[in-house]
Structure formats: C-alpha cells, structure tokens
Amino acid sequence: MKNRPPLWYTIQAILGTLVEEATLLIIVLWVLPAFGIRAPLWVLAILMLALAALSYVRYRLGRTTFFLPRREYVESLVGCEGVVTRSLNPEGYVKIQGVLWKATCAEGYLEVGTEVVVLEVDGLKLLVVPKGQQDVETGL
C-alpha cells in the first residue's frame, strides 16, 4: 500500500484516458470524414494504442510525485536544531533536517560539528547560534 498513489489519482487517470480515447474516436470517425478525410480502422487502432501508452506513461511519471518528501516553508526552521558542516566564519553551511543551508553566526565563528539552533531566516540564509545560547540571544 505504501507505493500506491491515492485512489482519486488513479480514477482521474482512467477517466481522463477514456475521455481522450472517446475524443479521438469521434474525430476520426465523424469529424475527419466531414472534411473528406477517411482513415482506415487500423490507423484508428494504432492512434488509440499510442494514446493509451502515452496516458500510461503520464500516469507512471505523475504518481512518483506522491512519494517525494514533504517540503516545508523556510520560516518553519526557526527554533530547529542542526549541525555545522562547513565552519561559520561568520558565514558557512549547516545541515538542518537533512538539508544543507547557508548560514551566518551571531558569535562570529563556529567549528564543524558544532550543534546550532536557528534564530531567524533572512531569505534563504539562516542566522544561527550555538545550542544552549538561544535563550541568551532571544532573552527567554
């Protein structure tokens, strides 16, 4: 059950394919003959198979998006803990929730491996302080 998309997605894909196939059938059997263009039935069968294959490929590609990790807004990182991966002097990189972020430190310099807490977010850059000092910085 873990690698199955929601039921609504599967139903929508099936109904969409049926509508596309019916539209193709109407065009080939009624619209084109009105303009004097007649296609043999084997052409219709090939077009319907190609459209069904395209619908299946789109379904398979689209279903993978349901299994991507959830993304949060960057503002929700305030208060999260992380680890310095490239020394902050005063700018470097920290890893928070498994994601690498550019960060600056209010202290000026932090070594690799130091645990930090996010104080604020400025665009896509984080302002961090060493863990345990966030109460001093925020005044709590």
Per-residue pLDDT tens over the stretch 81-135: 999 999 998 899 999 988 899 999 877 789 999 999 999 998 889 999 998 876 6
Residue 63 has pLDDT above 60, yes or no: yes
Whole-number pLDDT of residue 132: 82
Per-residue pLDDT tens over the stretch 6-47: 899 999 999 999 999 999 999 999 999 999 999 999 999 999
Distance (Å, whole) CA 75 – CA 81: 14
- Whether omega for the bond prior to residue 90 falls within 30 degrees of 0, making it cis, is yes
Burial track 21-54 (b if 16+ CB lie within 10 A, e otherwise): eeebeeebeeeeeeeeeeeeeeeeeebeeeeeee
Nearest alpha carbon to residue 84 among 63, 61, 102, 69 = 102
Whole-number pLDDT of residue 135: 60
What is the pTM (predicted TM-score) of this model?
0.51
What domains does the chain contain, in order, with CATH numbers?
7-67 (no CATH), 74-138 (2.40.50.140)
Whole-number pLDDT of residue 130: 92
- Please list, in sequence order, all residues whose beta carbon lies within 8 angstroms of the beta carbon of residue 40, skipping any fewer than 6 positions away: none
